[in-house]
A and B are shown apart, each in its own frame.
Chain A
Amino acid sequence: MNDEILNVENICKSFSTVEVLHSISFGIRRGEILGIIGENGAGKSTMMKILSGVYELSSGQIFFEGKPVQIDSPQDAKSMGISIIPQEFNLINDLSVYNNVFLGSELLKKNGFLDKTAMKKRTRELLSSLEVEISPDAQIGDLSAAEKQMVEISKAIAFKSRILIMDEPTSVLTSHEINILFNLMRKLKEKGLTIVYISHKLKEVKEICDRVMVLRDGNFVLDEEINKISPEKMAQSMVGRELSQIFPEKIKPEEKIVFEVKNITVPDVINNISFNLKKGEILGLGGLVGAGRTEVSEAIMGIRKISEGEIYINGKNLKIKNPEGAVKAGLSYLSEDRQGSGIITSFSVAHNTTLVSLPAYSDNPAQWIDKPGELETAEKYKNLFNLKTASLQTPLEFLSGGNQQKVSMSKSIDTKPQVLIVDEPTRGIDVSAKQEIYHFIHDLVQNNVSCIFISSEMEELIGMCHRVVVMKDGEVTGTLEDTKITEEEIMLLATGITEEDA
């Protein structure tokens, strides 16, 4: 009992009448890194939101340092020393980085005015401890998902806390940033911080955690010291069955080139990018955070203005001015920033599914929407991706993160594109659903679709792609093919460090 900093007894949580946590009890040991894993919708985020005062528990008791406590608000949690990195970004787009880091706990000068200099200085220190180059004055709205993630991390560690909860902090980070984060976590742990770590990347859990607990359908089904369990065993215990081959067999693409970008440049962002995509090919884009992979897709989709260069689809030169034009030309993009640019959280599952493909459901002079057809489609994807939702009318804000991602994926493929660009397609998705998505993309490329696959997960790039284009600082540094696609080769090109240097 004594070595537990926090424990909970018989916690239940219901939304309306649906119980999602069924009388959960567990303890967090002082100074440990506790991994919590489980399928999408298992209740991980809900549990952590209860501990950080976002949700109220329906019944049960929380003990902090052995004493019963009530955590009614995020302020309560903060004052007890519990801070959280939420799964979905909780940042204000119109404010600068440093203002977000200190939001609600601004540093003041003696005269009561904001001490901007001190806040900026501290923000710069925090960011440099994470080894990222983001200006404290940058606007959140201008940052990429990974950069936003780094700001969230800085925000959580800006103040001394005793328990740090991290809800999928690495879902958009590449192994480089993840290593930096892990080193930081180890340092914090040495200083006595207790960390709860939620992730779907089981190898990371194995690497960083001391203990792992598995949540399935609102119950804990396993609690094991980390050295007694393998990632495979974790996966098995999460989904309750053995998983077959994760990645499908690669099938050689045709020689015909369906899509090509030639020397495209977006000033200050990407420079002189060229690559092509063959019919039936999955082409990976690799690189570190900030390498410009997302920016390349945004330029292709007409979201960023290209100053130079051309885009060809089926040999035809395309002038894409906006996403509307891109979609009409047969392109489709799955954004990495789920809630920022992918889905509308107040829209239902069905309405999100047809958000881009709506013209196909309203193809008549009055543009009248075929609602039954829309529901049919949503139902199809629900079954395909094993979506966990109360109904197709449920607004997305009531779905778990991974399930929101599945809807975002459905939305992007429902336009029946020729070229599908997916940016972190499996962000926040559990192992079994990941497998489904891999096989789904594999089937798509067998059926006249070609795919540009952006991922920060090496394993995905290696397991899925026929070729991988690696970028660094907005430029292409190399292309890898077949057996040359290895973690070492990708990192080499991504960091620009040759083996002799290292």
Chain B
Amino acid sequence: MDAAEGEKNTNIFMRILNAVNWQKNASFIALVFLVILSSFLSPYFLKPQNLINIMRQVSYTGIIALGMTFVIVTAGIDLSVGSVVAFTGSVVILTMNAYLNVYNNEVFAIVIGFLVGLGVGGLAGAFNAVMITRGKIVPFIATLGSMAIFRSLSLFIGNAGEIQSHNELYGSFGMGSFLMIPVPVFFLLGLGFVLNLILNNTRYGRYLSAVGSNQKVALFSAINVNKIKFIAYTLTGVLVGISAILLGSRFNAVSTSNMGLAFELDAIAAVIIGGTVMAGGRGTIWGTIFGALILGVINNMLNMVGVSPYLQGTVKGLVIIAAVYVQKQKQ
């Protein structure tokens, strides 16, 4: 290779690198832009309390969106997350109440509630995973079905009403803060940190992309495609469980008809706005977190400038469509 050719080669490399970086940073740039815009629109926006509130609000769906990122990287989708939040939340509180009826130990009740939450969420995810991998049902349909199932089950066990927790400590746990930062935000950032490493640096992360890019090639390349998918859906279930535990403790109760409603929309939106490709194969965890924050900031801004809450869905819808449109143009 002569010198001139070498130079040309680094050039094309730089270009590709730049393009990728821009794509990676697009959601971050959008977020910064929105924050600047909002701080002009309202003097309250930059108040620490307001910012902390936004962070707290986005963490419940944000945590779910982390798992959704993995699922979408495999070229799948999980519509059941909102219903599973309600179902898991209900079961967690019922379990804690039952425990407290017998023993009087609130700390232990929370530990048990936590484990049950992870377990129920994980099982719900595994149920989806089995339908998709063993049953060969397309993810959209399989999780549409479980979306209906888990909502109905939670309505049934809660008589379509509210389930109150008898555990005072549970209520303060989820509302607690550490170093000014709310507990759910810690979970979001901590989980995000770990999952980002998994996606970019481990064998499992590489296999996720391979399965989502070309399933047949993945299969021929000695990758256990079903196992990879199974883990992605089950992991999402576990994260849904965590979100449910945190959300239940926020009010120390769950409303079986309202809890987690339309969470699938927010989670999928965060993933897409964050730059993960709907067709699978490529995704970013930080992008998803930025995507969740973008949605949170938009909601907050609309509230502050006094836009009707009923119109917020319209704005959210437009943002999602715009994000996908931008993605398509880049391809």
Contacts and interface: CB of A to CB of B under 8 A. Distances in A.
A358 interface: yes
Contact of A393 (B8, B13, B204, B213): B13
A377 to B, nearest CB: 14
Of A371, A390, A394, most B-chain CB atoms within 10 Å: A390
A349 B222 CA distance: 18
B50 interface: no
Contact of B202 (A19, A333, A356, A367): A367
Contacts of B15: 16-17
A497 interface: no
Contacts of B220: 301, 303, 323, 333, 335, 341-342
A322 interface: yes
A126 to B, nearest CB: 27
Interface in A360-403: 362, 366-369, 371, 390-391, 393-395
A359 interface: yes
Of A19, A301, A344, A394, most B-chain CB atoms within 10 Å: A344
A442 interface: no
A72 to B, nearest CB: 18
A351 B9 contact: no
Contact of A346 (B202, B206, B213): B213
A345 B8 CA distance: 22
A341 B220 CA distance: 6
B202 A366 contact: yes
Contacts of B202: 362, 366-369
Contacts of A356: 221-222
B36 interface: no
A223 interface: no
Interface in A254-293: none
Contacts of A327: 222
Given A17-B15, A341-B216, A344-B214, A369 B206 contact: yes
Nearest to B219: A323
A151 to B, nearest CB: 18
B196 to A, nearest CB: 13
B72 interface: no
A74 interface: no
Interface in B120-146: none
A391 B223 CA distance: 26
Interface string A462-487: 00000000000000000000000000
B307 interface: no
Contacts of A362: 202-203
A420 to B, nearest CB: 14
B249 to A, nearest CB: 31
Contacts of A333: 220
A394 B12 CA distance: 9
A395 to B, nearest CB: 8
By size class, the interface of chain A is: 35 or more
Contact of B203 (A16, A301, A340, A367): A367
A15 interface: yes
Interface string A322-335: 11101100000101
A371 B281 CA distance: 19
B39 interface: no
Nearest to A333: B220
Contacts of A367: 202-204
Nearest to B211: A344
Interface string B217-234: 111111110000000000
A13 interface: no
B74 to A, nearest CB: 14
B21 interface: no
A65 to B, nearest CB: 36
Nearest to A341: B220
B209 interface: yes
Interface string B285-312: 0000000000000000000000000000
A411 interface: yes
B325 to A, nearest CB: 21
Of A327, A369, A411, most B-chain CB atoms within 10 Å: A369
B151 interface: no
Contacts of B209: 347
A343 interface: yes
Given A347-B213, A367-B204, A390 B13 contact: yes
A502 interface: no
A18 B216 CA distance: 32
Interface string A144-157: 00000000000000
B157 interface: no
A454 interface: no
B12 A15 contact: yes
A63 to B, nearest CB: 30
Interface string B3-39: 0000011111101110000000000000000000000
B210 interface: yes
Given A358-B206, A366-B202, A369-B206, A18 B221 contact: no
Given A16-B15, A344-B213, 17 more contacts: A16-B11, A18-B8, A303-B219, A324-B223, A335-B220, A340-B216, A341-B216, A341-B217, A355-B210, A355-B217, A356-B222, A358-B207, A369-B206, A391-B10, A393-B17, A394-B13, A395-B16
Interface of B: 8-13, 15-17, 201-204, 206-207, 209-210, 213-214, 216-224, 281-282
18 contacts: A16-B12, A17-B8, A18-B12, A19-B8, A333-B220, A341-B217, A341-B219, A344-B210, A344-B217, A344-B281, A351-B206, A355-B217, A356-B221, A367-B203, A369-B202, A390-B12, A393-B16, A394-B12
